[in-house]
Chain A
Amino acid sequence: MSGELLQLAEWGVKRALEMGADEAEVFLSTARAREVYSEGRRLKAVAPASRSAHVRVAKGRRVAHAFATTFSREVLEELVARAVEMASRAEEDPHWRGLPDPEPPRHGWVGYDEGVATVEAEWLAQLVRDMIEEAERAPGVRVSTAGARAQLGTHALASSRGVAVEERGTSFSAGLHVKAGEGVGERGVSSRSLVRDVYPVVEEAVAQALDSSRASKLGETVRGPVLFRARTFAQLLASLVVPALSAMSVLEGLSPLAGKLGQRVLGGLTIVDDGTMPGGLATSLFDGEGVARRRTVLVERGVLASYLHNTYTARRMGVASTGNAARGPGSVGIGPSNLVVAGGESSEGDLEAEAAVVADGTLLSVHTVNPVTGNFSVVVSNPYLVKGGELVPVKPVTVAGNIYQVAELVKPARRVRDTYTGIYTPDVLVGGLTVSG
């Protein structure tokens, strides 16, 4: 569909201007996935294909969005008409300073893999069967679900300011959830290209389930340092800190980091948003409104250096966009690209020795943490109690605290790991938390 998509988007922009819009932007995307997953051992194959059309128009300082899951000319015409009509009846936004201007990309890495784009369901089915067989070789282990997914996405963006970009990208993921008695283990891997060797994933999931099957109750409340494995720390970061770094949250009075640029807020952590990182799960040439992806230091040795911006928040706060516009159905919001937490001085083993509890597996209910205050109270699925230098598996525990209150007690390990979520972080020790179970 190369070229055609962009032409259609440009046609939509033209129509919007003809209908009376002062500015218009049309974003069209297509996604096609092939996925095989199991319910227990039974396989199911799905091949969802979807399209979306996003229209943003402005009349003076009145802005409206329209969105649809199909984009023939007929539908696009209706959508553009609807958006123009809504904009003419919307309220003025005194802060609106127009759509982004065009700019060239800042890097050349395109996350497209022909293998992922063309892989057949049979290949995925065999991979899933292999994972199931390998996992169930371990005595007492049963697979709850295993799956593999290959996705291809393309999008085009055109605007009345002359933005005209077209991109494509692929992603692949595979993973499994296993049970051993009452114990559970879960692991997955994601990449922009095909992953053939999924055995490490299987081994880790199985080992975790076996550990969890011999876990006993913690039976007490412990106050002290918790070592978050890279995966669980990434979850906490994504739900608790990333929303607070969004300039939109800052402007709307929802961020505890508002007014704190230049201040030490996160202990000794360094966090960088890098949309240009080769191989990154979230690397792309442009963000959701056609602004070039770039590398932005958000927090440097604990000191808040920048928020995440789209063009609207950047102009409102008098800075340049950080290329973090995220297109949702019906709005242009803000989202991170690849987030990289810098490694520290300690080895993972050193930090284990310092910890009271290790938070492994996943954080349950992590989406319920409160980014407005920094309070969190979550459940760790596969925790370990550190006892005489040994890691002793325990049943799920609650971990609670306030990230900004314990910020000075945060210590990252040396090795930065891929958590397969677009977040690259080491294991991180966080002191002063309350653990109960």
Chain B
Amino acid sequence: MLEDLARLALDEAARLGASFAEVRFEDSTRELIVYVNGRVVTLSFQRSRGAGVRVLYGGGLGFASTGDLSREGILAAAREAVKAARAVAPGDRRLAPHPLRSASFRIEGVKLHPSRAPLEEKLDLVKRAYGVAREAGAASATARYGAHYGTVEVYTSEGVSVSVERLVVGVSAHVVLREADRTGDGFEVYGASRGLEVFSEAGAPEEVAQRALSYARDSLRASRPPAGTMVVVTRPELTGVFAHESFGHLTEGDFVAAGTSPLAGKLGEQIASEQVTIVDAGLCERGGYALLADDEGVPTQRTVLVEKGVLKGYLQSRESAALLGVEPTGNGRAQSFAHEVVVRMRNTFFEAGDWGEEEIIEETRRGILLDKPAGGQVELDGTFTFNARIGYLIENGELGEPVRDVVLAGNILEMLKHVDAASKRVEISTSPFGGCGKMGQMVHVGDGGPMLRTVLLVGGERG
């Protein structure tokens, strides 16, 4: 039935003079349970159904969307897309050739899909996490369960017909502790592109809450960190945000094609130390978000961005690939049917090095070990920032007092040269609760890496 609706829109766009048309359908569900201090504050089920239409007209690119999946709704969207494209024509926009004609991508090995699990089982997850925090005397505790799943289907005037499954589930815990006039908080999340069977062992909600509690305890006795440029050691989860913010965004092909990324024109150059290898992959056996094909239906590759310090590649959608004369890498993504495709990351991570984690600490005379990201951002001048919730000072190879809530900053073309140690163990994580924001669109991503040592500007309070 969707194929028939797609045909209708594709024919209408062609009739109006479009040289290319594409219809992308989405049918997805988002589940969210928020449990605060023993009470369900959010119990929600969200269904997202609709279509986005992208067309080329005289080299102009237009997009329109609709939540009305009737014949009239889809025809109106096709007309609106052509009208939009005409408004910016003539232009030089094209799309790189699609590598597939017809395919269906499914996530294998899912045992208990969230759509089949009873509500009680999901409520039990948040209650178990909350129980741990309550037992420990938390002043406030929030546990969440979230899931996002569904299908994206792409049909184009070139005859492409691709269907892709989406799935991510997760549990999080936020614990606030109060002692006298001090407040400490800790946050932990565990997510995977699998079924509810992942919430056992390290993924058990009790374990998630236990880790949040442990961070909250450290946070309670933490002081504000020192300020200034210093040696920084990042734990895997924070390393991931470092990879994503410091580097990933500026390899996005749209910024490269527009010439606004400081990495434009630097392929083949040594831009980082030899310890640095950075990869963006649609699927990684070590964890993260499973994106088998992107929102253009292009299968995702393992894209090496930096290899031993040398810039090797950029991330591409069909649009950016055409502008740069290369092949799409499966990085064309959209938040929903109502959003146009832009170049986005998938799972971005630093590759392993040959250090032991303890060895990195032991061989650091003075510095700061940081963990638990709270997000980050990058500017087109290469200034990147990301934030750590908790950390520990390192003095003569030993961990010292905890510190908290600190921003880290640097410039991409300077800071990656200072990376001088990476551990053997790599972790990659994801979550259904948040993701990466760009141009007002949020998509699920994964990131990670080893424990890493570098030099960064630390936004603390002690001189």
Interface residues as binary, A113-135 with B (CB distance below 8 Å gives 1, 0 otherwise) = 00000001110110000000000
Tell me if A50 and B45 are in contact (CB < 8 A). no
Q: Tell me, yes or no, whether B116 is within 8 Å of chain A by CB.
A: no
Interface range for B: 35 or more
Residue of B60, B88, B259 touching A142 (CB-CB under 8 A):
B259
Contacts between chains A and B (CB distance < 8 A), count: 273
> Shortest distance in angstroms between B382's beta carbon and chain A's nearest beta carbon?
8
Residue of A nearest to B53 (CB): A47
State the CA gap A190–B92 with chains docked (Å).
30
Tell me if A330 and B45 are in contact (CB < 8 A). yes
Interface residues as binary, A330-346 with B (CB distance below 8 Å gives 1, 0 otherwise) = 11000000000000000
Interface residues as binary, A173-199 with B (CB distance below 8 Å gives 1, 0 otherwise) = 000010100111000000000000000
Q: Tell me, yes or no, whether B47 is within 8 Å of chain A by CB.
A: yes
Tell me if B379 and A184 are in contact (CB < 8 A). yes
State the CA gap A91–B34 with chains docked (Å).
12
Tell me if B80 and A365 are in contact (CB < 8 A). no
| CB-CB under 8 A for A212 and B381, given A49-B66, A434-B460 | yes
Tell me if B88 and A79 are in contact (CB < 8 A). no
Tell me if B44 and A254 are in contact (CB < 8 A). no
Q: Tell me, yes or no, whether B377 is within 8 Å of chain A by CB.
A: yes
Tell me if A67 and B258 are in contact (CB < 8 A). no
Q: Tell me, yes or no, whether A293 is within 8 Å of chain B by CB.
A: no
Q: Tell me, yes or no, whether B295 is within 8 Å of chain A by CB.
A: no
> Shortest distance in angstroms between A419's beta carbon and chain B's nearest beta carbon?
18
Interface residues of A in 368-422 (CB under 8 A from B): 368-370, 372-373, 375-379, 381, 395-396, 398-402
Collect the chain A residues with CB atoms within 8 Å of residue B88's CB: 36, 43-45, 121, 125
Tell me if B385 and A379 are in contact (CB < 8 A). yes
Tell me if B407 and A365 are in contact (CB < 8 A). yes
Please choose the segment from B35-43, B268-276, B425-433 that sits at the chain A interface, where 4 or more of its residues have CB less than 8 A away. Answer: B35-43
Collect the chain B residues with CB atoms within 8 Å of residue A252's CB: 36-37, 41, 140, 142
Q: Give the interface centre of B119, B374, B382, B459 by most chain A CB atoms within 10 Å.
A: B459
Tell me if B41 and A40 are in contact (CB < 8 A). no
> Shortest distance in angstroms between B439's beta carbon and chain A's nearest beta carbon?
8
| CB-CB under 8 A for A398 and B409, given A70-B69, A144-B258, A364-B385 | yes
Q: Tell me, yes or no, whether A264 is within 8 Å of chain B by CB.
A: no
Collect the chain B residues with CB atoms within 8 Å of residue A44's CB: 61-63, 88, 93, 340
| CB-CB under 8 A for A47 and B81, given A66-B45, A329-B46 | yes
Q: Tell me, yes or no, whether B172 is within 8 Å of chain A by CB.
A: no
Q: Give the interface centre of B88, B257, B337 by most chain A CB atoms within 10 Å.
A: B88
Tell me if A400 and B45 are in contact (CB < 8 A). no
Collect the chain B residues with CB atoms within 8 Å of residue A93's CB: 39-40
State the CA gap A230–B375 with chains docked (Å).
24
Q: Tell me, yes or no, whether B95 is within 8 Å of chain A by CB.
A: no
Residue of A nearest to B93 (CB): A42
Residue of B nearest to A252 (CB): B36
> Shortest distance in angstroms between A332's beta carbon and chain B's nearest beta carbon?
9
Q: Tell me, yes or no, whether B290 is within 8 Å of chain A by CB.
A: no
Residue of B36, B48, B64, B379 touching A364 (CB-CB under 8 A):
B379
> Shortest distance in angstroms between B387's beta carbon and chain A's nearest beta carbon?
3
Interface residues of A in 196-239 (CB under 8 A from B): 212, 221, 223
State the CA gap A142–B375 with chains docked (Å).
29
State the CA gap A75–B68 with chains docked (Å).
11
Residue of A nearest to B378 (CB): A364
Q: Give the interface centre of A254, A396, A398 by most chain B CB atoms within 10 Å.
A: A398
Residue of A nearest to B42 (CB): A331
Q: Give the interface centre of A49, A72, A79, A179 by most chain B CB atoms within 10 Å.
A: A49
Interface residues of B in 214-260 (CB under 8 A from A): 224, 227-228, 254-255, 257-260
Tell me if A42 and B458 are in contact (CB < 8 A). no
Collect the chain B residues with CB atoms within 8 Å of residue A254's CB: 140, 142, 176
Q: Tell me, yes or no, whether A34 is within 8 Å of chain B by CB.
A: yes
Collect the chain B residues with CB atoms within 8 Å of residue A434's CB: 227, 459-463
| CB-CB under 8 A for A121 and B84, given A183-B381, A401-B461 | yes
Interface residues as binary, B106-131 with A (CB distance below 8 Å gives 1, 0 otherwise) = 00000000000001100100000000
Please list 10 pairs of residues, one from A and one from B, whose beta carbons are closer than 8 Å in the complex, sorted by A's number: A36-B88, A47-B80, A51-B67, A67-B46, A121-B62, A254-B140, A329-B44, A370-B185, A396-B409, A401-B461
The 8 A-B residue pairs whose C-beta atoms are closest, nearest first, are A330-B44, A398-B459, A253-B140, A40-B258, A121-B87, A368-B387, A45-B84, A368-B374
